Amino acid sequence: MTSTDIPRLSVRSPGDLIAAVPYLLGFHPADSVVVVAMRGKRVTFAARSDLSDLAGPVDAGRPAAGAGGPVEPARHVAAVVARQLADRATVLGYGTASRVTPAVDAVCAALAEAGIPVLDALRVTDGRYWSYLCDEPECCPPDGRPYDARASEITAAAVFAGQVALPDRDALVAQVAPVEGTERTGLRLATERALRRRADLVDAAPAADLLGGRALRAASRAAIRVALRRYRRSERIDDDEVAWLSLLLTDLTVRDHAWERTDGRDADIALWTDVLRRAEPEFIAAPGALLAFAAWRAGHGALAAVALERVLTVHPDYSLALLLDDLLRRGVPPSRLDGWPAVRLSGLARRRGKGRRGTR
C-alpha cells in the first residue's frame, strides 16, 4: 500500500493512468490488481495486491471463494482505500482475463460496499487495455485499446521529476538483498572485530559504569552521528563502521536514538539501505526497520514493504518491524504520525518515569 507523494501529473485518459501507475508504486506491476484512489481531482493513494491473493487457486486451509476466498482480501483493500478518505477509485488488473476478471470483480464489489464509486475498471496486458465498465466499441473495442507508456507525457514528466519505476517487484527486492561474495566475507570478519571491540569497551569501563553502559551509549551516539553525517554528504561508512553500528543497534535504546533522527530524506534511506544490505543476518532487524520507517515517511511504501519482508523473514518477532508492517497493511498515511517517533518516545519516557526504571 503506497501513499503517493509525487509531483502532480495530469491524467486525462486511461492510457495516462496506466503510464502513471509504475511511478505511483515504484515498479511496473505484473499479475496484480492496483487500486488508484482519488480525492477530488488528485490521486492520493495506490494499493497493489497479487492476483494470487485475490483470485488464485484456493490454498490448503484457506476458505473457498463463496466462504471468503477472494472476498476477504478484496474487502481489506477496500477498507485501506476508504481509510485514505478517497471519494473515487479506478481498479486496474494486470494479467490474463481468466485470472484478472474475478479479482477485479471482487475488488470493485468491495469498493462499492465501502461506498467508494469506481470510475473505471481496466485489464492491462501486452500493451493493450480493456474496460470492464464500457462496452462502446468506438472507445473500448473488443480487442482492446493499444497504449504506449513510453510515449506518454506522464512518463516524461515523472522521469523529469526524478521518479523511478523499476522493471518489476523483484528489482525492488534486489535493492535490499544482502551483499555476497568477497564483500560478505569482509563483513563477517568486520563483525568479529566489532564483537571484540564491544567486549574490550565493556572490560575497560570503570566500576561505576555498570556493564559499560555509559561507554556503549557514548560510542553508539558517535557511530550514529558519523553515519548520518556521512550519508548526508553522499559518502559511505566502511565495513568496520557498518559492523559496529549494526551491533550497537541491537540495544533498543540505541535503536530508538537512531529512530528519532531518521526521517524520509534520501540520505536516511541510503544509509539504512546500505546497512541492511551489508549487516550480518542476526543484526539486520534494526537497520531494516529504520529503512522501512524512512521509506514510509517518504511515501515509498513498496520499498518499506520489501525491507520489512526481509527483516520479518529472519526476525519474525521484532516489534518495530511488526508495528510498521501493520501501519503499511492498514494504509496509514505518514502524515497521520507527524512528529513520530519523538512523540511516542517522549510519552514512553514519561510512562517509564511513573513506573519502574529501566522497564520496557
Confirm if 43 and 179 have CB atoms less than 8 A apart: no
Name the one residue in this structure whose C-alpha cell is 490488481: 33
The secondary structure of residue 143, as a DSSP letter, is T
Phi-psi region of 4 (alpha: psi -120 to 50; beta: other; left: phi over 0): beta
Query: Nearest-5° angle of CA 74, CA 80, CA 75?
Result: 20
Neighbouring-strand partners of residue 42: 39
- Coarse DSSP helix, strand, coil percentages of the chain, rounded to the nearest 5 percent: 55, 10, 30
Query: Nearest-5° angle of CA 311, CA 316, CA 318?
Result: 75
Confirm if 94 and 125 have CB atoms less than 8 A apart: yes
Q: What is the number of other CB atoms lying within 10 angstroms of the CB of residue 105?
A: 18
Neighbouring-strand partners of residue 38: 43, 88
Contacts of 197 (CB under 8 A, 6+ apart): 244
Torsion of Cα atoms, 292 then 297 then 298 then 300, to 10°: 50
Give me the pLDDT at residue 339, please. 65
Query: Nearest-5° angle of CA 73, CA 78, CA 83?
Result: 125
Stretches where the chain sits below pLDDT 70 are 1-10, 55-71, 159-161, 210, 336-360
Distance between CA 9 and CA 161 in Å, rounded? 10
Contacts of 129 (CB under 8 A, 6+ apart): 14, 15, 18, 122, 123, 144, 145, 147
Helix (H) or strand (E) holding 130: strand 128-131
What cell numbers appear for 162 in the block? 526524478
Distance between CA 135 and CA 353 in Å, rounded? 66
Walk across the sheet containing 32-39 and list its strands.
2-3, 42-50, 32-39, 88-94, 118-125, 128-131, 145-146
Question: pLDDT tens across 243-286, in order?
Answer: 999 999 999 999 999 999 998 899 999 999 999 999 999 999 99
Q: Where are the domains of the chain?
A: 2-167, 175-354
Query: Nearest-5° angle of CA 304, CA 308, CA 311?
Result: 145
Give me the pLDDT at residue 180, please. 97
Give me the pLDDT at residue 48, please. 92
Contacts of 315 (CB under 8 A, 6+ apart): 284, 285, 321
Name the one residue in this structure whose C-alpha cell is 509531483: 7
Phi-psi region of 33 (alpha: psi -120 to 50; beta: other; left: phi over 0): beta
Give me the pLDDT at residue 13, please. 84
List, as one string, the DSSP characters of 216-261.
HHHHHHHHHHHHHHHHHTT----HHHHHHHHHHTTSHHHHHHHHHT
Distance between CA 360 and CA 357 in Å, rounded? 9
